[in-house]
């Protein structure tokens, strides 16, 4: 079972560089032992933070990276809600990741077929695993405690067989999405949540400390054999009473 580390930074400005270092250190570790680095990305505010901080690194080499998406909205890639589209414009177009190293959905398919197609792509990328084992998954958390496109009280939280599941009734628009399931998330070697801002303070306390914690999808992310980080800023951590680690921008995880 994962050991959870809750690390608090004065602000997102100090958090960002440490996140970039975590990505690079886990990439170096994975490439040296397995010849490639597999990374699962989430959208939202993480896109701009990660893109900015990775591009600021002088020795960024992504030639052995394989990147997937923890969830994706069923919209065209040029739509402002497309997570892939945002990463393409802010990061992928500026680094040396091979085209074949980016695993994208086929947004032209109906949502059920889209999930099946993405499942096939992940199985091809991880042929030796029952569930794909990513080296690092970067996750966010909504004010309702959702992560990926796994929402409170939704039947998908109980999915145990599928790798990627379709969702047509997302309470947060757009309604049609595909999402990694909890068995995939919990198979990862390392999972890092990034949660910033005062609007997250109440739910973060519930997820990390509350008796009702398991009711929140984010609280059900507990990697079986991996690391688990919660990287948060002071506003998000304002209500926490548990012991936390405090770090600045020069820290390393």
Mean predicted lDDT score pLDDT of the chain: 95
Strand order, beta sheet including 245-246: 65-69, 37-41, 136-139, 190-195, 227-233, 4-9, 245-246
Average pLDDT over residues 188-198: 97
Q: Could you read off the pLDDT of 68-80 as tens digits, one per residue?
A: 999 999 999 999 9
pLDDT in the model for residue 1? 62
- The closest alpha carbon to 185, from 208, 205, 209, 165, belongs to 165
pLDDT in the model for residue 252? 84
Task: Band the pLDDT of 214: cuts 50, 70, 90.
Answer: confident
CATH code for position 210? 3.40.50.1360
Task: Band the pLDDT of 251: cuts 50, 70, 90.
Answer: confident
- Show the domain range for 122: 6-246
> How many folded domains does the chain comprise?
1
Q: Which residues contact 33 (CB under 8 A, 6 or more apart)?
A: none
Task: Band the pLDDT of 210: cuts 50, 70, 90.
Answer: confident
Question: Is the residue at 251 inside a domain?
Answer: no
Dihedral sign computed on CA atoms, order 13, 14, 20, 26: negative
Task: Band the pLDDT of 99: cuts 50, 70, 90.
Answer: confident
pLDDT in the model for residue 213? 65
**In angstroms, rounded to a whole number, what is the distance separating the alpha carbons of residues 155 and 12?**
33
- The closest alpha carbon to 118, from 84, 142, 95, 78, belongs to 84
Question: Is the residue at 253 inside a domain?
Answer: no
Question: Is the residue at 40 inside a domain?
Answer: yes
pTM of the model: 0.96
**pLDDT at residue 250 is higher than 90:** no
């Amino acid at each position: 079972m994962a050991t959870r580390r809750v690390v608090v930074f004065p602000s997102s400005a100090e958090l960002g560089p440490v996140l970039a270092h975590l990505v690079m250190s886990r990439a170096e570790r994975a490439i040296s032992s397995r010849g490639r680095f597999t990374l699962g990305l989430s959208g939202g505010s993480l896109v701009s933070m990660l893109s900015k901080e990775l591009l600021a690194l002088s020795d960024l080499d992504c030639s052995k990276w394989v990147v997937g998406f923890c969830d994706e909205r069923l919209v065209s890639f040029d739509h402002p809600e497309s997570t892939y589209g945002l990463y393409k414009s802010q990061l992928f177009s500026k680094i040396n990741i091979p085209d074949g190293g980016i695993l994208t959905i086929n947004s032209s398919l109906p949502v059920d077929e889209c999930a099946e197609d993405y499942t096939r792509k992940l199985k091809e990328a991880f042929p030796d695993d029952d569930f794909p084992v990513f080296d690092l998954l970067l996750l966010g958390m909504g004010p309702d405690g959702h992560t990926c496109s796994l929402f409170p009280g939704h039947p998908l939280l109980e999915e145990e067989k599928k790798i990627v599941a379709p969702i047509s009734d997302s309470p947060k628009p757009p309604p049609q999405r595909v999402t990694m399931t909890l068995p995939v998330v919990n198979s990862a070697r390392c999972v890092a949540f990034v949660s910033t801002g005062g609007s997250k303070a109440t739910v973060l306390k519930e997820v990390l400390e509350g008796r009702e914690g398991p009711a929140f999808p984010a609280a059900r992310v507990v990697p079986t054999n991996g690391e688990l980080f919660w990287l948060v800023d002071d506003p998000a951590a304002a209500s926490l009473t548990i012991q936390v680690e405090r770090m600045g921008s020069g820290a390393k995880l």
